[in-house]
Chain A
Amino acid sequence: MTNPTEIKQKLNTKEENTWCPGCPNFFILESAKQAIANLIASGKYKHEDFSMTTGIGCHAKIYDYINISGIYGLHGRVLPTCLGMTLGNPNLTVLGFAGDGDTYAEGMGHFIHACRYNADMTLFVHDNQSFSLTTGQATPTSQQGFKTKAEPLGEMNRPINPVKLALVSGATFVARADAKNIKQTAEIMKKAIMHKGFSFVEIIQDCLIFNIKANSTDEKMYAIEDNNDKSKAEKLAEEWDYNLREGKIPIGVIYQAEGVLTLGEEWPQLKGLLDKGVGWKNKR
């Protein structure tokens, strides 16, 4: 086994990082690299088997900063692009990095269906409750009253609860992470990637420039034990509603279902590829 620190070096790119100074995206990037490096170091995952997709937004710049294969995709289309990768080669380790506007506004339909399909892939949502790369408009997780240049009267709509939504939609792995807690997030990411099926990790992230009012929820956060009880998961999901009301924010693996077949295991054609350890390209 190789040293994770050396592997992590190989995940670096030469690209200049253009996130705002101090942006928690730096921490998410570090967590992702740690998680990937640790998995490669375990000997069960190969560097060249990782394939990622990003949407468009601040989060998506991560594409340029991690040296793994992938498609820098379209806004809102992370999930279908990841789905295509798993259909094309079910033996790849497919990761999607997406934003909150990306996933819950432009791509909401895909989100619910991804939970249904249970393809073996992982979605990380960098949720800063604002469209930041377009200078701070409201997203579906922004709190009511959030004033922006586009919503000068304040956001009128109630925010959605993505964790709750994922649970009702049948996601087999639902977790929440705190961007500022690098080690803990890396650990959650690792578990999400290792889960067989669709894994969803909602990462709470401050934006230092826009929607500042939504920031600094850290003191409300508390770590939970890994949970595989659905009704308990539903209660955990209810504890925080993104509207800046009172409540505690559970962090960790909120739900993990066991023994649910993945899309790749359900389809005989993909099962065949899984058994052979190849994609369609090398099927013959």
Chain B
Amino acid sequence: MPRREIFLASQNPKQTIRFCDTNEVLEMRINILIGGKAGQGINKVSEIVSSVLVKQGYFTFNYRDYPSLIRGGHNFNVLSASDNRVGSIESKLDVIVALNEKTVELHKDELKKDGVIVSFEEFKDLGRNLNIALSGALIKILGIDKEILVEEVKKALKNSEEAVQAAEKGYESEESKFNLEKLDNKIKIMTGSRGVSQGALDSGIDLYIAYPMTPATGVMHDLASNQVENNLMVFQPENEIAVVNAGLGASFVGAKTMVGTSGGGYDLMTEGLSLQGISEIPLVVYLASRPGPGTGVPTYSTQCDLDVALRGGHGEFPRIVIAPGDPIECIENTNEAFYLSEKFGALSIVLSDKHLAESEFSSDRKPNKTIPVNVKRKTPGEGIVKASSYEHDEEGNTTEDAELAKKGADNRIEKYNKIKEECKKFQMIKIYGNPKAKNLIIGWGSTKTVILDALDAIDESIKSGKGDYKFLQVLYMKPMSDEIQGEIDRADKVILVENNSTGQLGHYIREKTGIKIENRLLYYDSRPIKSDLLKEEILNIK
């Protein structure tokens, strides 16, 4: 029997929280924009405030928006906080924290009528501690105790007395607008990059080989930072062609190996992926996409590389492509990718994007138990083992024999069938919300948490499980679940949501099922989808 489960994004889905200075009971969500020049420390603000919020039991989501430069320019973070799961940004802001004048100019039109601006003007004398003072001011606006702030600032800034004073000064400069009482949630903040790294560590990764490329570099930095303690090695060779070939060489001799890159680097790797296909050396590839073609919009996000993940590399050979939708799934799917790759001598691709890799998500869900990944095959040092880029006989030597060529191709097809069977043990798709709902939203990857937020904003479809909508998240892009067709057949209205201009998942579903999804909400301005606007667009589809 195929598995079907209803997933709740939060383990406390039905919490209702009293908040606000007016004693009203409201669904709570606060949207805060923190903006300034690169180098002014806006990430420190969102880091401190998020940590405080999470300690208070609130879910947070922090989106990082930055152009491709190191100092100057205009960067901003949008920090959303809620008493319930939150995984998106919205179009309207409750608070703007401005580290410079430009932030106010650029974003004041997004502020709600009763919104607040916390400005750098008040703290001009604080120099490099401006961001800390603004963090203090923000914590006060949120109505959280000063002690919690001070504790967090001490932790974040190595007990700097100066920083604590700045935080206190900021705190005292504002009035509370909200009253975020402590809630009983156990929440962790995590980026998608951290999730992929953790999944690799859980799988016992030995080698991570990569060449720097945004937005894949986060995993490289993460794994490199504690490589000696974690007993692995992170190596940066001369280019991605070297990365993939070294990855295959290392894996061939028995090291659990992952390579990582983004679109352009992946293109360079594809001949190596094809070598994987015929040599059957296990290989895990982390592919974090950004808007292409070419250099595209390098520090922003897109889902434009599904096609190339599914098909990159010449010849016909099996592969696994898994697209997690949040950091916890990044942990699980990366572990599954290692397991499947080693078990079948296969290529596993973990497909992410900048939005998932670099946004800071929060969750109270614990990842599934780690699947052990064991290298049992014979490797050099233990006997003679031969792998080849040519079609080969059983000993690994070259053949151009017609019968053996056909047999090689048949074996690759057979292997894919076995992989598909094995994948059924995992959550190839997830369905959220009311299983009987007639309106079906289909999406994948980093749009997951946006879709969940939008559907809850319509009729609490996800939280209550009783609304008019359900959401089908595709995690296994290849092999693809056979259940998708049935879900589409049972629905009255099907809406595809993707962060690309052509609807790549839609095309792939059509290829597999013959079903054309007519309703498509495609977003491709390289910015994240705003959940309140998505909600409106979903409701507009009749």
Contacts and interface: CB of A to CB of B under 8 A. Distances in A.
A82 B380 contact: no
A283 B241 contact: no
A72 B390 contact: yes
Contacts of A63: 386, 388, 397-398
A83 B237 contact: yes
Contacts of A61: 398
B295 to A, nearest CB: 20
A48 B383 contact: yes
Nearest to A87: B250
B253 A92 contact: yes
B4 to A, nearest CB: 38
A279 B233 CA distance: 12
Given A64-B398, A269-B231, A283-B231, A83 B253 contact: no
A279 B232 contact: no
A74 B384 contact: no
A81 B245 contact: yes
A233 to B, nearest CB: 24
B257 interface: yes
A78 to B, nearest CB: 9
Contacts of A132: none
B379 A269 contact: no
Contacts of A280: 206-207, 250, 254-256
A73 B397 CA distance: 12
B384 A281 contact: no
Contact of B252 (A67, A85, A269): A85
Given A71-B252, A88-B252, A89-B254, A49 B380 contact: yes
B423 to A, nearest CB: 25
Contacts of A170: none
Interface string A44-76: 000111110100100001011001111111100
A77 interface: yes
B249 A80 contact: yes
Contacts of A64: 397-398
B333 to A, nearest CB: 23
B247 interface: yes
Contacts of A67: 384
Interface stretch (B140-148, B271-279, B483-491): B271-279
B227 interface: yes
B246 to A, nearest CB: 3
Contacts of B253: 51, 84-85, 88-89, 92, 279, 281
B246 A81 contact: yes
Contacts of B387: 70-72
Interface in B194-217: 206-207, 209
B2 interface: no
A85 B254 contact: no
B472 to A, nearest CB: 39
A79 B248 CA distance: 12
B273 to A, nearest CB: 11
B455 interface: no
A83 B241 CA distance: 12
B235 interface: yes
Interface residues of A, number: 45
A110 interface: yes
Contacts of B246: 80-81, 83-84, 87
B380 A84 contact: no
A53 B252 CA distance: 11
A22 interface: no
A77 B254 contact: no
A46 to B, nearest CB: 8
B249 A85 contact: yes
Given A71-B387, A269-B227, A92 B381 contact: yes
A269 B375 CA distance: 19
B379 A281 contact: yes
A50 B271 contact: no
Contacts of B250: 84-85, 87-88, 280
A110 B232 CA distance: 24
Contacts of A279: 253-255, 379, 381
Given A49-B380, A280-B206, A281-B375, A80 B255 contact: no
Given A74-B275, A109-B238, A281-B255, A92 B245 contact: no
B471 to A, nearest CB: 41
B281 interface: yes
B279 to A, nearest CB: 6
Contacts of B272: 74, 77
B241 A88 contact: no
Interface string A1-43: 0000000000001010000000000000000000000000000
B384 A87 contact: no
A259 interface: no
Nearest to A77: B245
Interface string B219-262: 00000000110011101011101110111111111111100000
A50 B228 contact: no
B254 A73 contact: no
A113 B242 contact: yes
A248 B382 CA distance: 45
B28 interface: no
Most buried by A among B207, B227, B253, B375: B253
Contacts of A84: 209, 245-253, 257
Nearest to A83: B246
B158 to A, nearest CB: 27
A249 interface: no
Interface string B376-405: 000111111111111010011110000000
Interface string A221-265: 000000000000000000000000000000000000000000000
A274 to B, nearest CB: 13
Interface in B352-389: 375, 379-389
Contacts of A70: 380, 386-387
Given A56-B389, A74-B271, A279-B254, A48 B239 contact: no
A20 B442 CA distance: 59
A9 to B, nearest CB: 14
Nearest to A64: B397
B220 to A, nearest CB: 15
A192 interface: no
A270 interface: yes
B379 A83 contact: no
A69 B384 contact: yes
B206 A88 contact: yes
5 contacts: A47-B384, A72-B387, A92-B380, A92-B381, A267-B233
Given A80-B242, A89-B255, 15 more contacts: A15-B398, A63-B398, A67-B384, A70-B386, A71-B279, A80-B249, A81-B245, A81-B246, A84-B248, A84-B249, A85-B250, A109-B238, A110-B238, A270-B233, A281-B375
